[in-house]
Structure 1
Amino acid sequence: MGKEFAIEREVVLPATPEEVFAAVTTGTANWMFPTPAPEPGSPLVKNWEPPDRVTIRQDGPDGWFNALDFIIEARDGGTAALRYVHSGIFTDDWDNQYDGASKHTDFYHHTLGQYLRYFGGRSATYAEVAGPAASALPTALESLKKSLGVSAIDETVRLELPGLAPVDAVVDYLNPYFIGLRTPDALHRVFGRNNFGGTVDATAHLFGEDADKEQTEQAWRTFLNGVFAA
């Protein structure tokens, strides 16, 4: 039997409660969080009170569960406060899993804010790629930062992925665990899961009309394989 956890956050987002509720429930941005997209009437949905609250919970054997609770309140200036609780049970290596999930939560909420500020209401094509085994080394994310030419928040770098047209990207998030790159039509996210026993992985939220999931995944896969070639 594992041990329960709860990760709690409150963030102010540049959108109305209706816009925040849509972002975390309609498939537009809800894929940032580790639970399937909720639908009214689904057995996973424990609260459905638009635009104020949605709670999703998955239950498994031996008391296992994973739950997300979003409580949304209007604030001045057309903004909204999101009170968020991710609770559940970790069955292995509790401290490492909690640390990783907590740091991922901050990155997810930042990305949600970026989506609402720059791409609010637009549907996304979602691409994701796991890095090669060699990207599990402790220094892997630092190596990738150098390859991308990333060194500071708010700087602009030239994102050149094999098979895709080069594009300017703003570094919107940067710490020892994650990299966020925002282009005019996408949010590219790099996850330094090498810090938590995994590999360096990449995702992209594509908002352009010509978004190509397979091409983007192949571009990131080729890039990561090149950076971490044996």
Structure 2
Amino acid sequence: MPHPFEIREDITVEATPDQVWEAIATGPGISSWFLGRTEVEPAEGGRVRIEMPDWSSEATVTAWKPGRHFAYREDENPDGTFMALEYHVEGNGSSTVVRFVHSGFLGDDWEDEYDALTQGDRMYLEKLGVYLKHFAGRTATFTLFETRENIPRERAWNALRTVTGLGETVSVGDKARITVDGLAPAEGVIDFARLPHWVGVTTDDGFYAFMHAQDSVVIEYSGFGDVDGPAIERAWQSWLTTTFA
């Protein structure tokens, strides 16, 4: 039986309402910090399409007030489950407040799914903040890598600490050095963290999100400028396969 849910979050970002709108309500903007490749038809009743390597999602725009309010509702599944996302944008001097609502109906394992969404929603808002602070108006090459095996949390974070050069404790502002075979080492800084769930590292040309979620290791990368997406994918997939064999 579908179970109703609602998650509310907000974040203050270093950007104008127009910059926020471009990031949350256009295909190139959303694709630069959220999930996969996104297309948005810019009008109430328009369609939203999100494409990932192993799944896709389609939705309908339910609110379109440029610079103020954007919302969409996914198409309902045969079992009655669906999700809806909503953004309210409020200018606040030199910054902007983004109020986010994630709602809908979850399936039979709703408790685990709700816990995962609670962590994920906060992380993606933090990614939005990093994008607007460092790369506003630019379009990223987005790549995602993950393990399919059940990886214990301690093992996952021991490996992630090694590849990022982080210590046992992690704080925003800490330095990081990402070293993975096949790619040049990259110096970075921690811009967001909530261990043992996720940590975000910003480099000169992009930002990473490293996660341990639902017993899997997940790495997302948004790269800007001259990015060799296939080389990045090969390097990280090789690291995941070798590290968690």
TM-score by length of 1: 0.89
The verdict on how the C-alpha distance between 1:166 and 1:103 changes in structure 2, with shifts beyond 3 A counting, is: same
Matched-pair contact (CA < 8 Å) for 2:14–2:129:
yes
Q: Counterpart of 1:227? A: 243
* 2:98 pairs with 1:82: yes
Contact 1:29–1:112 (8 Å) recurs in 2: no
Residue correspondence of structure 1 range 89-100 to structure 2 within 5 A: 89-100=105-116
Counterpart of 2:117 in structure 1: which amino acid? A
- Unmatched 5+ stretches in structure 1: none
Cα shift at 1:132: 4.7
Q: Give CA deviations for 1:41-87 in whole Å, capped at 9, x if unaligned.
A: 4241111110111111112234322100111011112x111111011
The 2-side partners of 1:2 and 1:80 are apart by: 35
- Taking the aligned partners of 2:108 and 2:232, their CA distance within structure 1 comes to 33
1:71 maps to 88
> Which segments of 5 or more consecutive residues in structure 2 lack a partner in the other structure?
48-59
Q: 2: CA distance between counterparts of 1:29 and 1:161?
A: 28
Contact 2:29 2:137 (8 Å CA) reproduced:
no
RMSD: 1.9
Match of 1:155 in 2: 174
CA drift at 1:141: 2.6
Residues 92, 37 of structure 1: CA spacing in aligned structure 2 closer, same or farther, 3 A cutoff? farther
Q: 1:56 aligns with which of 66, 72, 80?
A: 72
**Greater share of helix residues, 1 or 2?**
1
The reply on whether 1:128 has 2:148 as its aligned counterpart is no
Distance in 1 separating the partners of 2:188 and 2:147: 21
Whether the aligned pair in 2 keeps the contact of 1:46 and 1:55 (CA below 8 Å) is yes
Aligned residue identity for 2:208: H
- Superimposed CA distance per residue, residues 81-135 of structure 1 (whole angstroms, 9 cap, x where no aligned partner): 11110111110322221111111111111111111011111110101112252x5
1:40 to 42, 58, 61: 42
Q: How many residue pairs are counted as aligned between the two chains?
A: 223
C-alpha change, 1:29 and 1:136, in structure 2 (3 Å) is farther
Alignment-mate amino acid for residue 162 of structure 2: S
Residue 111 (structure 1) aligns with: 127
Is the 2:140–2:222 Cα contact (8 Å) retained in structure 1? yes
Amino acid of the structure 1 residue aligned with 2:216:
T
Q: 1:157 to 1:87 in 2, by over 3 A?
A: same
Between the aligned partners of 2:182 and 2:102, the Cα distance in structure 1 is 38
Give the match for residue 189 of structure 1.
209
Q: Greater share of strand residues, 1 or 2?
A: 2
Q: 2:6 and 2:39 mapped to 1: Cα distance?
A: 20
Q: Secondary structure at the match of 2:153?
A: coil
Please state how far the C-alpha of 1:188 moved relative to its aligned partner: 1.0
Tell me, yes or no, if the aligned pair for 2:151 and 2:216 is still in contact at 8 Å: yes
The 5 A counterparts of 1:138-149 are 138-148=153-163, 149=165
Task: Say yes or no: does 1:200 pair with 2:200.
Answer: no
Query: CA offset at residue 34 of structure 1?
Result: 6.0
TM-score by length of 2: 0.84
